[in-house]
Structure 1
Amino acid sequence: MSGVILNNVKKRYGAVEVIKGVDIEIGEGEFCVFVGPSGCGKSTLLRMIAGLEEISSGDVQIGGRRVNDLDPKDRGAAMVFQTYALYPHMDVARNMGFGLSMNGWPRDEVDRRVNEAARILQLEPYLDRKPRQLSGGQRQRVAIGRAIVRDPEVFLFDEPLSNLDAELRVATRLEIAKLHGTLENSTMIYVTHDQVEAMTLADKIVVLRDGRVEQVGAPMDLYETPDNLFVAGFIGSPKMNFMALDNGRLPDGTAPAVPGAAGAATLGVRSDALRPVESGGDVAGEITVVEQLGDAVFAHFRTGWGQEMVARFEPGTRLRAGESVRFALAGRTHLFDAEGRALRAAAERLTA
């Protein structure tokens, strides 16, 4: 069993509490992603699991063992850092096997594990090369290989793609996804601020803000049924459009009254839930920016009451800044109360 359980975990620096009572259960073999804005505590939480940060209170369990008081090397976890942290004077093979050699492992077992990791990561042609002779993506694979040879219960990734260019980020992201499929029953915890990485890699996403868990769930569950305004705005690209309601209506009096949304509330609409219409409709505005992305066209527009929004159009749609546009609410909508909590029943009645 290689699952991870966090029970009311807290972290304090003096009087400042940065992790504020986190409860998470990650099952054996799951790929769990911690996502959130900079400063939300995701990397601190990962380092607490690894044993690189002291736990102020609460319990961390790995494989059914309480590990709070164990040294990092005894926790059954291996960490891949944002920086590759490779030894420049060592070749790839020695970089991957160095930790095992230092701990007194037999040379033939070290070689066997290094060769197996190189096979999995397609690094066999590069075992004799020094880090300076490798691309950024290859160096990151070496860093991952160094974790694989330890045969850990849990892999911990701390923003491993942030130093790569856009093309390498995509390629290495795919390599990590394949690695999870290859290493059966390996639990992986991955930290990123990039919600696209989170959506494409994760079995389970933990959305963090200010040291607290905002929501935990499968990627599409978070996308389709966010618990609050923060999650709705953070998950999805482009971000969800939000419109303040006054007694169930938009500021200009358009859009139907929404049952259950009396008083202050917010209506959330994804870009693909706005259907262009010639006349009438629920929302109107003037285009400010057009993004042609090949497989889609995104039009950013400003409503009559000054709200900035974005709508998705079919590929090849010809639009220009300054054009007037009108939309009907033709897809799933989301409602949030004055505290930002989801009002799902009311949103479903509006959609129906």
Structure 2
Amino acid sequence: MAGVKLTGVAKKFGAVEVIRGVDIEIGEGEFCVFVGPSGCGKSTLLRMIAGLEEITAGSVEIGGRRVNDIDPSERGTAMVFQTYALYPHMTVSQNMGFGLRMNGVPKPEIAKRVAEAARILQIEPLLDRKPKQLSGGQRQRVAIGRAIVRDPQVFLFDEPLSNLDAELRVATRLEIAKLHGQLQGSTMIYVTHDQVEAMTLADRIVVLRDGRVEQMGEPMELYERPANLFVAGFIGSPKMNFIKLRATGDGGQPAAELPDGSRFALSGPEANGAATLGVRADGLKPVDRDGVFTGEITVVEQLGDAVFVYVRTPWGQEIVARFEPGAKVRVGERISFALGGRTHFFDADGRGLTGVTPGNTISEARLSA
């Protein structure tokens, strides 16, 4: 296994800059996930590590060795693509061992490596089948096996689950997580647009947007302490609710005003900079009175283990709250909310603020007193 280090990496296609000075260091044995919306550059970045795209600027190091000008076959990486790319006329065993045969590896060694990869992936009964006799999940396992037999220093996965149905995606995701442990902590870099895959697989996540790193950290660090509005909205399901604020004051006490005029106190070193309130679905708590705002229920989603309730606010914004199973709520009802523990605040530039906490609502009587 080996670590991967990217320093000032940039990529241009003509005049279009798609990767803009990326600095990332991935430790030995780490499972790192690149995540972001379509077109953010995550797959291009992965292909640059593999050597399938030229680097316009910066350097890529694998195991402490600069590999910018080294052939992809000599970088010590193995890539699993979105498409299976299996040879239809070959058996599973032949597909998995094809790259080794091309490199002149002796037949006994090929057989040994294929057998071990098949054991790890639990596809031993499939070794004599052709790809057309396999399901989508089985084909993806064969593609992963083809990478395992190369015994690489770094595994590269480029959205390997996107062609699978929902049930298979979950099952194969679990297999990849187990694989990381079975391969004695091999370094893995995984690209996906699915933040659920990122949260469940990664030791660390790199959130990309427009060719830049927005934030890098452990999954719960990004969930609980997002650096900015983009990361806060991308990580977590359902998406975080964002409500614009107007800074006010009450006798010198920092406060915030919602679009409908309701106000609540703020405390913390950066309270005066708060311009946007971010609150996750489980941070909105239904109350009988003294809520921050009241809205009308427009949609109720019963998911078994939770109930998601969509509420239209007095200023016309729709937000979502999470209720416990069995909650007795109906479309058309009015409901009042207080702010729970999962609240976040952002400044006018979208930067996350630290140490800001909401207090009680402030009545007009207090304001005019």
The 2-side partners of 1:291 and 1:181 are apart by: 37
* Equivalent position of 1:268 in the other structure: 278
1:110 and 2:71 aligned? no
How far 1:350 moved relative to its partner? 5.0
Is contact 2:3–2:26 with CA below 8 Å preserved after alignment? yes
Query: Could you tell me which amino acid in structure 2 is paired with residue 252 of structure 1?
Result: D
Partner of 1:314: 324
Displacement of 1:258: 2.4
**Alignment coverage as a number of residue pairs:** 350
Secondary structure in 2 aligned to 1:256?
Answer: strand
Tell me the residue number matched to 2:125: 125
What amino acid sits opposite 1:195 in the alignment? Q
The structural deviation recorded for 1:319 is: 2.0
Q: Is the 8 A contact 2:274 2:353 kept in 1?
A: no
SS of alignment partner, residue 23 of structure 1: strand
- Contact 1:38–1:193 (CA under 8 A) maintained in structure 2: yes
User: For 2:291, what is the secondary structure of its paired residue?
Assistant: coil
Return the alpha-carbon distance in structure 2 between the equivalents of residues 264 and 342 of structure 1.
Answer: 9
Aligned twin of 1:253? 261
Q: Paired residue for 1:170?
A: 170
Q: CA deviation at 1:288?
A: 1.1
Q: Given the alignment of the two structures, is residue 202 of structure 1 paired with residue 202 of structure 2, yes or no? A: yes
- Secondary structure, in 3 states, of the residue corresponding to 1:115? helix
> How large is the Cα RMSD of the aligned pairs?
1.2
CA distance in 2, matches of 1:264, 1:218: 25
Aligned partners of 1:168 and 1:255: how far apart in 2?
48
Does 2:308 correspond to 1:298?
A: yes
Partner of 2:288: 278
Taking a change above 3 Å as real, the CA distance of residues 255 and 296 of structure 1, as seen in their structure-2 partners, is farther
* Aligned amino acid, residue 257 of structure 1: A
Aligned position for 1:44: 44
Give how far 1:254 is off: 2.1
Residue 324 (str. 1) matches residue 334 (str. 2): yes
**Whole-Å separation in 2 of the counterparts to 1:261 and 1:243:** 16
Counterparts of 1:315 and 1:183, CA distance in 2: 40
CA distance in 1, matches of 2:359, 2:120: 50
Which of the numbers 289, 304, 309 marks the counterpart of 2:299?
289
Deviates more, 1:299-308 or 1:2-11: 299-308
Where 1:167 maps in the other structure, the secondary structure is helix
Q: Displacement of 1:91 after TM fit?
A: 0.5
Quote the offset at 1:264 in angstroms. 6.4
Displacement, 1:280?
A: 2.3
Q: How much does 1:141 deviate?
A: 0.3
Matched to 1:213, the amino acid is V
Partner SS, residue 132 of structure 1: helix
> What letter corresponds to residue 240 of structure 2 in structure 1?
M
Change (3 A) 1:300 1:182: same
Decide whether the 8 Å contact of 1:118 with 1:145 is kept in 2.
yes
1:97-125 superposed Cα distances (whole Å, 9 cap, x missing partner): 00000111100000000000000000100
**CA distance in 1 between partners of 2:182 and 2:92 (Å):** 21
Asked if 2 retains the 8 angstrom alpha-carbon contact of 1:249 and 1:257, the reply is no
Q: Deviations over 1:183-240 (max 9, x none)?
A: 0130000000000000000000000000000000000000000000000000000011
How far apart, CA to CA, are the structure 1 residues paired with 2:147 and 2:263? 54
Rg larger for: 2
The Cα shift of 1:252 comes to 1.9
* 1:144 maps onto 2:127 in alignment: no
Aligned-pair CA distance for 1:346: 2.1
> Given the two structures, how large is their TM-score scaled by the length of structure 2?
0.93
Cα deviations across residues 141-165 of structure 1 (Å, max 9, x unaligned)? Answer: 0000000000000000000000000
Query: 1:71/1:163 Cα in 2 relative to 1: closer, same or farther (>3 Å)?
Result: same
1:282 to 1:120, Cα distance in 2 relative to 1, 3 A: same
Percent identity over the alignment is 76
Runs of 5+ unmatched residues, structure 1: none
Q: List gaps (5 residues or longer) in structure 2.
A: 248-255, 361-369
2:186 is matched with 186
CA–CA distance in structure 1, aligned partners of residues 323 and 308 of structure 2: 6
Q: Deviations over 1:260-305 (max 9, x none)?
A: 4446600111110111112221121111111110000000111001
Q: What's the CA shift string for 1:238-260, capped at 9, x where partnerless?
A: 01111100112212232413244
Q: What's the counterpart of residue 66 of structure 1?
A: 66
- State the distance in 2 between where 1:261 and 1:101 align: 64
Go from structure 1 to structure 2 and tell me whether the alpha carbon gap of 1:170 and 1:105 turns closer, same or farther (over 3 Å shift): same
C-alpha distance in 1 between matches for 2:260 and 2:354 = 24
Match of 1:96 in 2: 96
1:221-236 pair list within 5 angstroms: 221-236=221-236
1:212 and 1:350, CA in 2 relative to 1: closer, same or farther beyond 3 A?
farther
Alpha-carbon separation, structure 2, partners of 1:246 and 1:228: 18
| Contact in 2 for aligned 1:92/1:126 (Cα 8 Å) | yes
The answer to which of 281-290 and 139-148 deviates more is 281-290
> What is the TM-score when the length of structure 1 is the normalising length?
0.97
Shift of 1:333: 1.1
